[in-house]
Amino acid sequence: MKRLFTAFPALGLSLLAASWNANGAELPRLRFSYGDWKIACDNTRTCRAAGYDSENSSDAGDNGGAGQRRMSVLLTRKAGPDTLVHAELQIGTYEDTQPATPLPRTLSLTMTIDGKEHGKVAVTEDNPTVDLAPGQTRALLAALTRVSKIAWTDGPFTWRLSDAGAAAVLLKMDAFQGRVGTPGALVRKGARLETSVLAALPEPVVRVPALDDRAIDLPAPRLAALRQALKAPADTCTEPDNIDGTPGDIAVWRLTGGKLLASLPCWRAAYNEGAAYWVVNARPPYAPRLVTTAGNGYASGIIGSSLKGRGLGDCFSFDEWTWDGKVFVHSSEGDTGDCRLVAPGGAWVLPVLVTAVQPARPTNRP
């Protein structure tokens, strides 16, 4: 089961956790932005490139008094020889950027490149994201390697995709997947054999042991000892009374292998907050080991973090750490794309770390 935590809310916030991988070597990953495009490639060598309308409102689309029209395109390509690019179009749904003249419930958008039509796509109010046809995808990829005017239009309504930075991002994708100089490269094609392209890597597997999700209450003497053990490690936290407040400030869950998970509120900012999580021994000496100071919640062996990139809530970063019976391993990391007012929460899920999490059935008892 893939885990991409998308619960609560700053992009770029440093999270205190060791990276993990199955082989002990650094996992391949890539983040890169240029112009109106960005790319994220994960540890399986799958790459996702997101492009947006121009941040210059005069180029973003037909306004006609209706306001700037936001949109985004996502290009996804798995690693390996002869793999195709999957393209998706998303029409903006962020409320503050909606046109004064309401859009029809269904849009029949004509795709044009430099004035030439390349078929239609249907977008509905309930489904603002649509796949592009293979022919449309090929035409789009060719256009993105040069200066082009790319648009989707339905009568008076037009959305324009920026090509600024696209070629640089697509070249990064080719390089990451070992395609430069092959027939399947998007930018720098060549005669190098397609079989030389880097193969896809398997998702690491994390098996979660059976756990009881209920928080536990430690006896007062042990809770006081735990509070004292956490006092020095938590000195970097800024949340008032996180150590010297009431006993209820510390949340504790039972793990496996004679370990507990302890958590305290750690910091609070304008539109985000984070809790610290430690693995501790079930009895003194507790010997706390920090997992993260940016957690938002814990359940079923997984600590999740989801943080707003800005107060408007149009972009988030996310992480997860999963208990494998011995330690919490970093099992998910990514973001939801640029802060472009395309959609609440962000337009896409752009991971740089994915795992296959295999959960056990919880052992909660009545």
Alpha carbon separation from 56 to 152, 167, 295, 313, 329 (Å, rounded): 18, 19, 36, 21, 42
Question: Residue 237 has what pLDDT?
Answer: 81
Query: What pLDDT digit, counting tens, does each position of 82-113 carry?
Result: 999 999 999 999 886 666 666 778 899 999 99
Question: Residue 363 has what pLDDT?
Answer: 54
| pLDDT over 90 percentage in the chain | 73
Question: Residue 12 has what pLDDT?
Answer: 32
Answer whether residue 364 shows pLDDT above 70. Answer: no
Q: Distance between CA 322 and CA 299 in Å, rounded?
A: 10
Answer whether residue 192 shows pLDDT above 80. Answer: yes
The H-assigned helical ranges of the chain are 57-60, 134-144, 166-176, 220-231
Contact 340, 347 (CB under 8 A): yes
| Among the listed residues 355, 357, 366, the one whose alpha carbon sits nearest the alpha carbon of residue 20 | 355
Q: Distance between CA 245 and CA 265 in Å, rounded?
A: 11
Query: What pLDDT digit, counting tens, does each position of 222-256 carry?
Result: 999 998 998 877 667 876 544 444 444 899 999 99
Question: Residue 238 has what pLDDT?
Answer: 75
Residue 64 pLDDT level (bands cut at 50, 70, 90): very low
Answer whether residue 22 shows pLDDT above 80. Answer: no
Q: What is the pTM of this model?
A: 0.86
The DSSP letter of residue 357 is E
Question: Residue 247 has what pLDDT?
Answer: 42
Q: Distance between CA 120 and CA 216 in Å, rounded?
A: 57
Q: How much is the average pLDDT of 155-171?
A: 95
249 compared with 336, residue with greater pLDDT? 336
Answer whether residue 5 shows pLDDT above 60. Answer: no
Question: Residue 141 has what pLDDT?
Answer: 98
Answer whether residue 346 shows pLDDT above 80. Answer: yes
Answer whether residue 14 shows pLDDT above 70. Answer: no
| pLDDT over 70 percentage in the chain | 83
Question: 285 in helix, strand or coil?
Answer: coil
Residue 288 pLDDT level (bands cut at 50, 70, 90): very high
| Range of weakest confidence among 148-152, 201-205, 262-266 | 262-266
| Range of weakest confidence among 1-10, 63-72, 328-337, 353-362 | 1-10
Question: Residue 147 has what pLDDT?
Answer: 96
- Please, what is the Cα angle at 40 between 17 and 44, to 5 degrees? 75
Residue 294 pLDDT level (bands cut at 50, 70, 90): very high
Q: How far is CA 104 from the centre of its chain?
A: 31
